[in-house]
């Protein structure tokens, strides 16, 4: 039997003895939006990244590059981007300066995707008691992204621009591995595309090279169980709604 917390030497013959725990780690993952000020040991973060690196990637290209922010490095990035976010709200004309480098969302929204997006947004705001006309509170809640929702650990993920779109698919599997492995250790996460528009601030701050593109950020820590936003859950379509069986 393999020792705990070590990678099996023979994956082909490895038996997953507790499949329910694997399912629980996946199914209990959600985007936590409030964290406790409880430190996460570096060795724990390193373990999560080591496990996540077993994600598949086309021809084993392993396109991920990770920057872990804690302490002063985290706090100073928060200050910079929150200031830019406030300035953008005050002068929408600045939007031209803060553009995402790749299209995370479609230019034109259609059903059913726009319906799910709206249900997600208004469901979260409803849990927080934010009304549709309360622009100030909407802005403040959106800015919570740029505070990593108070998580003590922020991560930024970049990719070499020379790589193709398939590498972003590989990257998604790497990110999911981090989030599932985190759940196995009592941690929660929030993957964050919100940072992408502020890449011109983020990339120099983390010391990324000129050939790197920001993929997303992620908050990591211990979720605040008392926060109402952490009890909001998005719906999932039933298997029969998205599956076609062919024989």
β-pairing, 153-160 vs 212-221, is antiparallel
What is the per-residue pLDDT for 8? 55
Domain ranges across the chain:
24-90+146-235
d(CA 235, CA 147): 26
Confidence (pTM): 0.93
Give domain 24-90+146-235's CATH superfamily. Answer: NADH Oxidase (3.40.109.10)
CA dist 19 and 17 (Å) reads 6
pLDDT at 159: 98
Give me the tens of pLDDT residue by residue for the chain, a chain 247 residues long.
Answer: 344 455 556 888 899 999 999 999 999 999 999 999 999 999 999 999 999 999 999 999 999 999 999 999 999 999 999 999 999 999 999 999 999 999 999 999 999 999 999 999 999 999 999 998 999 999 999 999 999 999 999 999 999 999 999 999 999 999 999 999 999 999 999 999 999 999 999 999 999 999 999 999 999 999 999 999 999 999 999 999 999 999 9
DSSP per residue over 107-133, as a string?
SS--TTHHHHHHHHHHHHHHHHT--TT
- Give the SS3 label for residue 32: coil
Q: Specify whether the CB–CB gap between 192 and 81 falls below 8 A.
A: no
Task: Please classify residue 81 by burial: count the beta carbons closer than 10 Å to its beta carbon, then call 0-12 exposed, 13-18 middle and 19+ buried.
Answer: buried
């Amino acid at each position: 039997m393999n020792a705990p917390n070590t990678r099996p030497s023979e994956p082909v013959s490895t038996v997953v003895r507790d499949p329910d725990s694997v399912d629980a780690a996946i199914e209990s993952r959600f985007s936590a939006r409030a964290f406790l000020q409880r430190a996460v040991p570096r060795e724990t973060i390193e373990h999560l990244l080591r496990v996540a690196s077993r994600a598949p990637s086309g021809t084993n290209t392993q396109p991920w590059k990770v920057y872990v922010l804690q302490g002063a490095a985290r706090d100073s990035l928060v200050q910079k981007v929150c200031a830019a976010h406030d300035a953008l709200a005050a002068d929408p004309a600045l939007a031209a300066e803060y553009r995402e480098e790749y299209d995370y969302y479609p230019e034109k929204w259609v059903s059913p995707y726009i319906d799910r997006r709206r249900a997600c947004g208004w469901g979260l705001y409803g849990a927080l008691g934010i009304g549709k006309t309360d622009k100030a509170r909407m802005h403040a809640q959106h800015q919570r992204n740029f505070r990593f929702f108070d998580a003590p650990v922020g991560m930024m993920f970049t990719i070499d621009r020379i790589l193709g779109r398939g590498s972003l698919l590989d990257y998604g599997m790497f990110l999911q591995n981090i989030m599932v492995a985190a759940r196995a250790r009592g941690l929660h996460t929030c993957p964050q595309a919100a940072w992408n528009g502020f890449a011109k601030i983020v990339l120099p701050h983390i010391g990324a090279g000129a050939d790197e593109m920001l993929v997303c950020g992620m908050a990591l820590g211990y979720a605040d169980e008392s926060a109402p936003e952490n009890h909001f859950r998005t719906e999932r379509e039933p298997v029969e709604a998205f599956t076609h069986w062919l024989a």
